[in-house]
Amino acid sequence: MIYLDHAATTPVRDEVVKEMEPYFIKYFGNPSTYYKIGREAKKAMEKARVQVAELIGAKPEEVIFTNGGTESDNAAIKGIAFKNKKKGNHIITSVIEHPAVDETCKYLEKQGFEVTYLPVYEEGIVRVEDVKSAIRDDTILITIMHANNEIGTIQPIAEIGKIAKENNIAFHSDAVQSVGKIPVDVNDLNVDLLSLSSHKIYGPKGVGALFVRKGVRLEEVIHGGGQEKNLNSGTENVPGMVGLGKACEIAKNELNHNITYLTQLRDDLTDKILNSIEKSYLNGDLKRRVPGTVNLRFTGIEGEGLVLLLDGKGICAATGSACSSKKLEASPVLKAIGLEDVDSHGSLRLTFGSENTPEDVDKTVEAIKESVAKLRAMSPIWNKKE
């Protein structure tokens, strides 16, 4: 199998599984208790908090554990919105956010908030001038993702954060697709809130974190026993937190190597495809993207068909984000960069991980060439003389 869908999820590293194991069995205690196995669980949880903080340049007390990227996004966006309702009801976001942000904003619209959705143009990137002109007296939150999950484009978060700060507006960034892939430092990025998820960085599923800058106040979304500074009540998922912590430690140590290595694999594959398949194109900006992500489109074919043919050859790839790949509508992200529905449907997302090899690239290029030719031969919309 060649796994090229690391933006959907990643395998859990052996070192991570090993680190988690004692907290399922030996130290299964509730971290709120005072006897040894509870204290050990609490200690492990706090060590994990330090590991997460170190990856993103935060203080450990600014890290709140959650059950993943979706919960972090919800806690941040609803938390700011409900806390600041009296101050204003306007939120700024972009048209290419993950549903975890987009649907939360849509929910808030139903609750009486107003949301401005900024465009991203052909390159798939929000323009700082657009953020500036969208700000109103009643703007209480800007939420813009760091790296896009479908096309990998990196947004100018540090610049947007500076504007948010100057205007005294809370700034959240969904960094689920950038943490562990490019340098992410909450101070350099000028963010007040930042979401990350464990299963995108070789940690277990069902755990994530939200950075909440000291002094930023959120209304709690989950009500209960008051764990995680009242922001995520419920008995803690200690093994998950330990796994996320270890995954962050590994990601930090391997970051520089992976940036160089994955960029090489990605660019090699992109060049080989674009040079050998006629009417093939890259979606989104060529340079301003995370190292492992490439989104291509092929005139005259259906991405779904291509993914199925590749699966038959043992290659795991995606048409859009995993969450939307079962829907038949064109991807909103590809629409947002100006693609017609027919071109969006002919798109393929490949996302590399550190276990991929140059041989994987060559095999995948050959498999795509064969599959695209096969699909075009059957396609009623493919016309070579076009």
- Asked whether the beta carbons of 38 and 30 are under 8 A apart, the reply is yes
Measured CA to CA in angstroms, residue 380 lies from 240, 304, 359 at distances of 49, 16, 34
Strand ordering across the sheet containing 139-143 = 63-66, 208-212, 193-197, 170-174, 139-143, 90-94, 114-118
Pair type for strands 170-174 and 114-118: unpaired
Nearer to ligand PLP, 70 or 227 (CB): 70
Token pair, residue 125, equals 């990137």
Query: What is the closest distance, in whole angstroms, from the C-beta atom of residue 363 to ligand PLP in the complex?
Result: 26
Question: Which residues of the shown chain bind ligand PLP in the complex (CB under 6 A)?
Answer: 68-70, 98, 100, 145, 149, 174, 176-177, 197, 199, 208, 321
Nearer to ligand PLP, 105 or 277 (CB): 105
**178: closest CA among 136, 138, 211?**
211
- Residue numbering of the annotated binding site for pyridoxal 5'-phosphate: 69-70, 149, 177, 197-199, 235
Alpha-carbon span 143 to 195, nearest angstrom: 11
Query: What is the closest distance, in whole angstroms, from the C-beta atom of residue 249 to ligand PLP in the complex?
Result: 19
Pair type for strands 139-143 and 170-174: parallel
Q: Which residue is nearest to ligand PLP (CB)?
A: 69
Nearer to ligand PLP, 85 or 335 (CB): 335
Nearer to ligand PLP, 139 or 321 (CB): 321
Query: What is the closest distance, in whole angstroms, from the C-beta atom of residue 331 to ligand PLP in the complex?
Result: 13
**Cα within 13 Å of Cα(9), Cβ side:** 13
Alpha-carbon span 119 to 127, nearest angstrom: 8
Nearer to ligand PLP, 29 or 69 (CB): 69
Residues β-bridged to residue 196? 209
Contacts of 241 (CB under 8 A, 6+ apart): 44, 45, 48, 49, 65, 207
Helices (H) and strands (E) in the chain, counts: 11, 12
User: Which residue out of 105, 248, 316, 323 is catalytically annotated?
Assistant: 323
Query: What is the closest distance, in whole angstroms, from the C-beta atom of residue 151 to ligand PLP in the complex?
Result: 11
Alpha-carbon span 142 to 279, nearest angstrom: 38
Alpha-carbon span 281 to 232, nearest angstrom: 43
Query: What is the closest distance, in whole angstroms, from the C-beta atom of residue 271 to ligand PLP in the complex?
Result: 26
Query: What is the closest distance, in whole angstroms, from the C-beta atom of residue 172 to ligand PLP in the complex?
Result: 12
Token pair, residue 172, equals 């959240």
Q: Is 323 a catalytic residue?
A: yes
Residues β-bridged to residue 82? none
φ, ψ of residue 297 in degrees (nearest 5)? -135, 150
List, by residue number, the catalytic residues: 323
